[in-house]
Chains A and B, each alone.
Chain A
Amino acid sequence: MNQALERHLNILDFTLASLLRRRAKNLSLLAIYLLVVFMLASLAFFVTALKKEATIILSGAPDMIVQRLMAGRQDLVPADYAVEIAKIRGVTAVRPRLWGYYYDALNGANYTIMASEDPAVVPGSATIGAGVAKARNLAVGDLLPLISYDKSPVMLEINSIYPHGADLAAADLIVISPDDFHQLFNFPGGQATDLAVTVRNPKEMSTVAAKIAGTFPDSRPILKSEIQRTYQSIFDWRGGMTLILLTSALISFIIFAWDKATGLSADERKEIGILKSIGWETSDVLLLKFWEGLVISLTAFLLGVVLAYGHVFLLSAPLFAQALKGWSVIYPRFQLVPVVDAYQLSVLFFLTVVPYTTATIIPCWRAATIDPDAAMRY
């Protein structure tokens, strides 16, 4: 047992010595490898954490949103729809939602304005997201002037600001009273942007949706599960762009690694011959090559994943910010709650470490099985 360990250590010693011989080449190889693993792992961490975050936020979302379509476009929902829907069996509550977008010409930002029934939001006051506060340089007690539909200003006093922790849901929110909402947008009374419907039994959801669609043919019920599904595809969508980039990076890396690992140089071949002639067995040579592949790929994998974790969860993924941000003025801080998905990491491991190590060993197989006396015949 001890002997086997010593043999491994001895051969590892030689592996490291021979890797250090081509220091520049092997270090740059390690660096490229590290970068690929780092990007892939960062992406995996980022997307998984976003999905988790979405699940948390959507768990508090209404069971069903009912929109109204007019000539194929979304239109305001009359209040009597809410009364009728509330009568359907299984529906616990129907709340009309008032919300819309506000384009701030001062800084080019898009805010989301929501009306809240919350008594804390009295007319003339507003609760804003941290992103809005930053974009307009506002603090609690400040006045936020918004330009209403007829260009007259509506002055709102900031009563509180959502902390950065809630950025992923609230960075661009301005929550105001329904009165202010009506005044700001000239929003007709007795109407709502859409309806938030709560259903007692989740199993009845589709039945209720069918009933709503039957009662109001111009309505469009959107289930929470459908929103969740949309989000799954959005992350594939957003992640998809990066994935395409990274796939091409990965493929070029594979070509590179393949070229490096399979192109056994004459020097290497000769070296294997020498090792065989001085008493190394085929298995010793293969062990040497195994270590050679593993030292590079395992180091790159472990370091890459650890760095990616720091990048995404400690530094809030600055490298992805540009890709996600686009030209948004308000950009949430991705203070993501860390999630480690063992499955993804093992996939990454099997995509990077295993092929590289194999590609290092396989071409040596033939060279290592030459007769030990071949070196005598040079």
Chain B
Amino acid sequence: MRRSVKYLLFTVAILAIFLLLPLHAHYIQRHSGDEIKLQMTKLQRLHVTDLCLATEARYTRHLALADRHAPFQEHPLALEHFPSGSMILPNLLTRDTP
């Protein structure tokens, strides 16, 4: 088989996968939708307002509700601001002392 045809077939193949992505997404959305809904009705009773993206400190858990001073409440060493807090561990020796 000539090179150009090989290349075009390869491209058509990945193009086909590329075009199938939205269909796959749609399929998953429909099929996991029910389970999510069930979980959400359970969680709704708790009135959760925030996503649990990271739990490194208090202010990263309830982002929408944290007050401005929350970062400084962690412990005296936690002069924490993004993004350094995501990268650098607080001093381990003092971490457990409140």
A interface residues, Cβ below 8 angstroms from B? 9-10, 12-13, 15-17, 50, 53-54, 56-58, 60-62, 65, 67, 69, 72-74, 95, 97, 101, 103, 105, 108-112, 114, 116-118, 129, 131, 162-163, 165-173, 175, 194, 196, 222, 226-227, 230-231, 234, 237-238, 241, 295, 298-299, 302-303, 305-306, 309, 313, 323-332, 337-340, 342
Contact = CB atoms under 8 A, between A and B. Distances in A.
Given A328-B54, A330-B55, A166 B39 contact: yes
Given A65-B49, A110-B56, A306-B21, A338 B15 contact: no
B61 A110 contact: yes
Given A131-B52, A306-B18, A16 B39 contact: no
A57 B4 contact: no
B43 A169 contact: yes
Interface of B: 2-5, 7-8, 10-11, 14-15, 17-18, 21-22, 24-25, 28-29, 32-33, 35-36, 39-58, 60-65, 67, 69, 82-83, 85-87, 89-90, 95-96, 98
B29 A338 contact: yes
Contact of A12 (B8, B33, B96): B8
Contact of A172 (B4, B61, B98): B61
A54 B51 contact: yes
A74 B68 CA distance: 9
A325 B2 CA distance: 49
A159 to B, nearest CB: 13
A337 B64 contact: no
Contacts, number: 194
B91 to A, nearest CB: 12
B58 A326 contact: no
Most buried by A among B51, B53, B54, B85: B53
B4 A9 contact: yes
Given A65-B65, A222-B64, A303-B14, A295 B7 contact: yes
Contact of B67 (A73, A162, A234, A342): A73
Nearest to B66: A74
A230 B98 CA distance: 30
A173 B55 CA distance: 11
A36 to B, nearest CB: 17
B51 A231 contact: yes
Contact of B40 (A50, A57, A196): A57
A63 to B, nearest CB: 10
Given A230-B63, A237-B82, A340-B25, A170 B11 contact: no
16 contacts: A12-B7, A97-B47, A110-B55, A114-B48, A162-B42, A165-B39, A169-B40, A169-B48, A227-B49, A230-B63, A306-B18, A309-B21, A328-B54, A328-B60, A337-B36, A338-B29
